[in-house]
Structure 1
Amino acid sequence: MKENLGIFVLVWFLLYGTCLGRFVVEKNSLKVTSPESLKGVYECAIGNFGVPQYGGTMVGIAVYPETNQDGCKSFDDDVSFKSKPGGFPIFVLLDRGDCYFTLKAWNAQNAGAAAILVEDDRVETLITMDIPEDEVKQADYLQNISIPATLIRKHFGDQIKNALSSGELVKINLDWRESLPHPDERVEYELWTSSNDECGPKCDSQINFVKDFKGAAQILEKKGYTQFTPHYITWYCPKTFVSSKQCESQCINHGRYCAPDPEQDFSIGYNGKDVVIQNLQQACLFKVAKESGKPWLWWDYVTDFAIRCPMKEKKYTNECANEVIKSLGVDVEQIDKCIGDTDANVDNLVLKAEQEAQIGNGSRGDVTILPTLVINNQQYRGKLAKGAVLKAICSGFKETTEPTICLSEDIETNECLENNGGCWQDRVANITACRDTFRGRVCECPIVEGVKFVGNGYTHCEASGPLRCELNNGGCWKETQDGRTYSACIDDHSKRCECPPGFKGDGVNTCEDIDECKEKLACQCPGCKCKNTWGSYGCSCGGNLFYMREHDTCIGKSVKTQVSWGFIWVVILGLAAAGVGGYALYKYRIRSYMDSEIRAIMAQYMPLDNQGEVPNHLPHGDI
């Protein structure tokens, strides 16, 4: 009885807190395009299972089955909702009630439906179709529901039924393009989760999602495309019950932060307190990793912890957690400091911030469902699966700014596989302008090996830029014969295709060899013989003559040799004569100069034969 009281206390608070808070029903648009009487746009609520086509649309026709109208039983083999070739997908309209929403979706999917519309059975505001907790442990099909599910109002559902009963075609466009905001080039998203792994298929699917999505999440985070934050839901224990055995086993810090018992049995296994402490440890690891510039380590830790420290193997311990932390190179002491004293009667700053974050703000309602994904401050609806979540995150980027990972095989539309999506393509070079995206195909001239193609993408694309001749020869003519290759591609920014010298043509499809001999364009000198070659020509001279192409003339080979050597000998003899003459002049001028200098010096000390005696002259007044 006391154990049940403890569970009741936590459940009571959860319900009480939810009533005080604000739960937002996430919606998408439903547009009826025919019949005329129903034309218009209607609101509908996105189911919290299946795969909503975030960022995209689906067009189909409504069908209301003649039997099994609530979809609670498997449809007979003779009932098929599969669309025929060339036909529209079928959206099955089902009545609410008698079984869970998920079972209706599963039965309709197995019968070939592309989507289900559930008509409410009462007049009320729209609600979120969720996975009921008491079905989770029994239903193993939940994670295999792959069609979108939506709830519509009763009045609108009745109008569709009336139109169908009158034989009218009800054509519907389900539109999720504005279900999530997409204001800029970065997506901010949160995952509200828990380290508890003993809640059956729901916990298993959550762990599997983290493992599968880890690679994509880390790529997005490392390259700055996204900003991710993990969160953990906790409740507090009312003061009246803080000292009870139930609250003490499920809460820390004197009832401030609590989590339900994993097995909902206080006598076995781990308790809620263990879950709260591990949740706090994961939150602190993210905080420390983010401060060190590596927030993506959270994905590694949560994945490794689930593998190495599961509850089922009795390894869900602090010691095991520390081993995982050390293996990732994160400082355990910093994390312990962040965790603090879980027995102290004080607030824990990390968990206090988590409780405050649970309260909705702006367009985002309170977080009360585990797990919950929030993208650009809007709650995601649908199953947690890599492809579905990646599609939703990609829809949060401003159009045309999506990273490459948004074009991965997991979420591409594959419209380019049929008729190349109606886009331009070069079959020879295997180049196409068709590109699949999660929003549908686009016809956009590609960039291939660094070469940018320009054009409208539908009927025309051509290579542009200085490297264009490296790819498919820039779309110009090119041919090889006799070991020689000629190209009409001009490797510049002109985008021209021009036949090379020796050829004529458009440069794109053809370049024909010019016969220079036939057209009298070469070898016109007397005695010249012309021979045409591919892309060029050759000339020869008769007898012992040599052809000079630049002058288009023939000259004698021997004369050319004699004249050349004669010229060389003249140059040699001329240089020799100049050297001898220069030497003689040099000797004459030096000798004359030296003789005159010597005579001048000797004249100062002795009379020469041709000079008379010079009398002595004394100064006046000397005795």
Structure 2
Amino acid sequence: MGRFQRQKAAILIGILVLDLTQLVMGRFVVEKNSLRVTSPESIKGTHDSAIGNFGIPQYGGSMAGTVVYPKENQKGCKSFSGTSSFKPKSGAMPNFLLVDRGDCFFALKVWNAQNAGASAVLVADNIDEALITMDTPEAGSSSAEYIQNITIPSALIEKSFAEKLKKAISGGEMVYVNLDWREAVPHPDDRVEYELWTNSNDECGFKCDMLMNFVKDFKGAAQILEKGSYTQFTPHYITWYCPPAFTVSKQCKSQCINHGRYCAPDPEQDFSKGYEGKDVVLENLRQLCVFKVANETKKPWVWWDYVTDFRIRCPMKEKKYNKECADSVIKSLGLDLKKIEKCMGDPNADSDNPVLKEEQDAQVGKGSRGDVTILPTLVVNNRQYRGKLEKGAVLKALCSGFEETTEPAVCLSTDVETNECLDNNGGCWQDKAANITACKDTFRGRVCECPVINGVRFTGDGYSSCVASGPGRCKINNGGCWQDAKDGQSFSACLDQEGGKCECPLGFKGDGVKSCEDIDECKEKKACHCAECSCKNTWGSYDCSCSGDLLYIRDHDTCISKRATEVKSAWTAVWVILMGLAMAAGGAYLIYKYRLRSYMDSEIRAIMSQYMPLDSQNEVPNHASDEHA
């Protein structure tokens, strides 16, 4: 191709891009998350921030941290020195690094901050304007090697708000903020709807490689969600048209089908070699029809199989990016080839293609979703996803589209739960000795929350302290109180009761938490006061002994004679015996008296019965009585 032809081709490409820009730049929506200042009181409030189009935003969750503004390298365009590390110390809150806009790529600022230990980055705008989306550099730049490794979230904040943060920090204030992504993705029902705006071109450099790797890695999770009816996925492909004045030109004919209605740029950006733009448009159309035919058979997830298999079996580099190779992939998946060809229609017809016309219409934003201008773009529940196109990050965004407690099991898998608690315990409180931590990791982000262990609740802020409270607390690491054992004896300062505290036991003194020291009762004259007493200190107590034959009585802190005790005991025994004998004699006498009286009564009754009738005998009857004649 001559110089003039190359210039003409470049001009045409510029016109095509310009037309695309005019087509889809009608309404670009900046996706935002909430930034709430919790301290100091003077700037307390909630503000919007624009989510960066790289890194991993914590969709569905939130992060609390302290804002740090560096004294040097305030734009973050250079690596931060070792003395400027922003990695939080154990028990401290995460650090959010505030840097100024300008002089270098947004992504480079975030990369340098991440390497210095920052947990998130706030970029202060340098002009008064509406929030914009921080995008990645153009493909092919040297930044490609680090963009894919950015894992922390970032956000752009307005200049006026940034100035307030800087003023508070310079005045010695601790600035605490909370980045919140919980409403960044709406969750209207128990199904998540999402779209992926993609491209079949595999020769566009870093972005194409990133897209294809994502499709391959995400396929398994996507198919699980789709088969379980948890999600409804739709693939989309960006196309644009050739200006009417150029439809008959060689360039438009090589980049477009249907007489300039649907076009794609040359894969190699060189009209003289390799594949042409219309080859890309045809394969994009084929992939759309694969999805439509698979969807008709109630198996929409087969699209993921086709796209990954086509990428592996039919790459441009091996000159296999063609219809023959695509047909072999379609047949291997059991799809109806004739239905797909019918769906694709005639690419040479001077008329609209229904499938591609629908795609061009879909590029224009509707409702809360803005126009699609960035390729690739993921849309979740009609909101454009911002962040790294990576399996775990995208799964987290999809899962945040479910109402809490309705998310499927895949949302609780290791694909989503990156376990932020493994790194510095997530900046939360922990007791390594008892293996207890306040860090709880979910796909919505880690939270520092004092735990409940075996029914015992820990209370505190979750960051710097958690203390066991209530009944049973002494069973968990002794309630955080002092305890020790020596010579077969053990003592604890834990009081096992509601609102209990650490208090050194009797015989010890100290704070009850870190230490309790033995009290020497002998030296402090707290025991063995009697003249005959001898005191010996023991751990946690004391022993008192008496001289000679004296016996120590601890309750009365006195000594008494052992002999007096023995005499007293002997007389006590004598009296007990005498009392026993007296009681036995009295009992015998009473028995004797009772039996004698009974014998005499029986003799008297026998004598009297001989001379007169007794009450128990019958009377002799009378034969006559004058009174009764």
TM-score > 0.5 by shorter chain: yes
2:380 and 2:141 map into 1 onto residues whose CA distance is 25
The one-letter code sitting in structure 1 at the alignment partner of 2:337 is: V
- Provide the residue aligned with 1:7 in structure 2: 13
Q: Does 1:296 align with 2:288?
A: no
- Provide the residue aligned with 1:334 in structure 2: 339
- Provide the residue aligned with 2:287 in structure 1: 282
| Aligned with residue 241 of structure 1, among 246, 254, 261 | 246
- Provide the residue aligned with 1:92 in structure 2: 97
- Provide the residue aligned with 2:619 in structure 1: none
The one-letter code sitting in structure 2 at the alignment partner of 1:2 is: K
| Aligned with residue 355 of structure 1, among 341, 360, 363 | 360
The one-letter code sitting in structure 2 at the alignment partner of 1:7 is: I
Structure 1 residues 458, 378: closer, same or farther in 2, change over 3 A? Answer: farther
Q: Does 1:371 align with 2:391?
A: no
1:250-289 alignment, distance < 5 Å? 250-289=255-294
| Aligned with residue 34 of structure 1, among 23, 32, 39 | 39
The one-letter code sitting in structure 2 at the alignment partner of 1:29 is: S
Deviations 1:462-515 (A, max 9, x none): xxxxxxxxxxxxxxxxxxxxxxxxxxxxxxxxxxxxxxxxxxxxxxxxxxxxxx
Structure 1 residues 404, 97: closer, same or farther in 2, change over 3 A? Answer: same
| Aligned with residue 309 of structure 1, among 307, 310, 314 | 314
The one-letter code sitting in structure 1 at the alignment partner of 2:168 is: A
Structure 1 residues 122, 416: closer, same or farther in 2, change over 3 A? Answer: closer
Q: Tell me, yes or no, if the aligned pair for 2:77 and 2:108 is still in contact at 8 Å.
A: yes
1:175 and 1:401 map into 2 onto residues whose CA distance is 20
Structure 1 residues 456, 134: closer, same or farther in 2, change over 3 A? Answer: closer
Deviations 1:333-376 (A, max 9, x none): 11111111101101111001111111111100111110000000
Q: Does 1:166 align with 2:180?
A: no
Shift of 1:327: 0.8
Shift of 1:414: 4.0
Structure 1 residues 435, 150: closer, same or farther in 2, change over 3 A? Answer: closer
Structure 1 residues 456, 378: closer, same or farther in 2, change over 3 A? Answer: farther
2:245 and 2:55 map into 1 onto residues whose CA distance is 41
3-state SS of 1:373 partner: strand
| Aligned with residue 206 of structure 2, among 196, 201, 222 | 201
Q: Structure 1, unaligned stretches of length 5 or more?
A: 428-433, 444-454, 461-623
2:415 and 2:168 map into 1 onto residues whose CA distance is 38
Shift of 1:110: 0.9
3-state SS of 2:130 partner: coil
1:457 and 1:404 map into 2 onto residues whose CA distance is 26
- Provide the residue aligned with 2:75 in structure 1: 70
- Provide the residue aligned with 2:394 in structure 1: 389
Q: Tell me, yes or no, if the aligned pair for 1:137 and 1:201 is still in contact at 8 Å.
A: no
TM, length-normalised to structure 1: 0.68
3-state SS of 1:144 partner: coil
1:210 and 1:162 map into 2 onto residues whose CA distance is 45
Shift of 1:410: 2.3
Shift of 1:151: 0.2
Q: Tell me, yes or no, if the aligned pair for 1:407 and 1:436 is still in contact at 8 Å.
A: no
Shift of 1:17: 2.0
- Provide the residue aligned with 2:524 in structure 1: none
Q: RMSD across aligned C-alpha pairs, in angstroms?
A: 2.7
The one-letter code sitting in structure 2 at the alignment partner of 1:383 is: K
Q: Tell me, yes or no, if the aligned pair for 1:242 and 1:248 is still in contact at 8 Å.
A: yes
1:382-421 alignment, distance < 5 Å? 382-412=387-417, 414=419
The one-letter code sitting in structure 2 at the alignment partner of 1:352 is: K
Q: Tell me, yes or no, if the aligned pair for 2:76 and 2:113 is still in contact at 8 Å.
A: yes
2:419 and 2:163 map into 1 onto residues whose CA distance is 36
Structure 1 residues 72, 435: closer, same or farther in 2, change over 3 A? Answer: closer
The one-letter code sitting in structure 2 at the alignment partner of 1:173 is: N
2:197 and 2:300 map into 1 onto residues whose CA distance is 16
| Aligned with residue 191 of structure 1, among 180, 192, 196 | 196
Deviations 1:131-158 (A, max 9, x none): 1225546531111111101000000111
3-state SS of 2:83 partner: coil
3-state SS of 1:341 partner: coil
Shift of 1:438: 1.4
Structure 1 residues 198, 291: closer, same or farther in 2, change over 3 A? Answer: same
Q: Tell me, yes or no, if the aligned pair for 1:33 and 1:173 is still in contact at 8 Å.
A: yes
1:144 and 1:309 map into 2 onto residues whose CA distance is 28
Q: Tell me, yes or no, if the aligned pair for 2:86 and 2:118 is still in contact at 8 Å.
A: yes
How many residue pairs end up in the alignment?
442
Q: Tell me, yes or no, if the aligned pair for 1:136 and 1:200 is still in contact at 8 Å.
A: no
Q: Tell me, yes or no, if the aligned pair for 1:190 and 1:228 is still in contact at 8 Å.
A: yes
Give the percent of matched residue pairs that are identical in Structure 1 and Structure 2.
Answer: 68
TM, length-normalised to structure 2: 0.67
Structure 1 residues 458, 24: closer, same or farther in 2, change over 3 A? Answer: farther
3-state SS of 1:206 partner: helix
1:16 and 1:458 map into 2 onto residues whose CA distance is 63
Q: Does 1:217 align with 2:230?
A: no
Structure 1 residues 399, 457: closer, same or farther in 2, change over 3 A? Answer: farther
- Provide the residue aligned with 1:567 in structure 2: none
- Provide the residue aligned with 2:52 in structure 1: 47
3-state SS of 2:155 partner: strand
- Provide the residue aligned with 2:160 in structure 1: 155
Shift of 1:459: 5.3
- Provide the residue aligned with 2:106 in structure 1: 101
- Provide the residue aligned with 2:23 in structure 1: 17
1:441 and 1:251 map into 2 onto residues whose CA distance is 49
2:47 and 2:390 map into 1 onto residues whose CA distance is 28
Structure 1 residues 52, 194: closer, same or farther in 2, change over 3 A? Answer: same
| Aligned with residue 122 of structure 1, among 117, 127, 131 | 127
1:385 and 1:120 map into 2 onto residues whose CA distance is 27
Structure 1 residues 41, 327: closer, same or farther in 2, change over 3 A? Answer: same
- Provide the residue aligned with 2:532 in structure 1: none
Structure 1 residues 69, 230: closer, same or farther in 2, change over 3 A? Answer: same
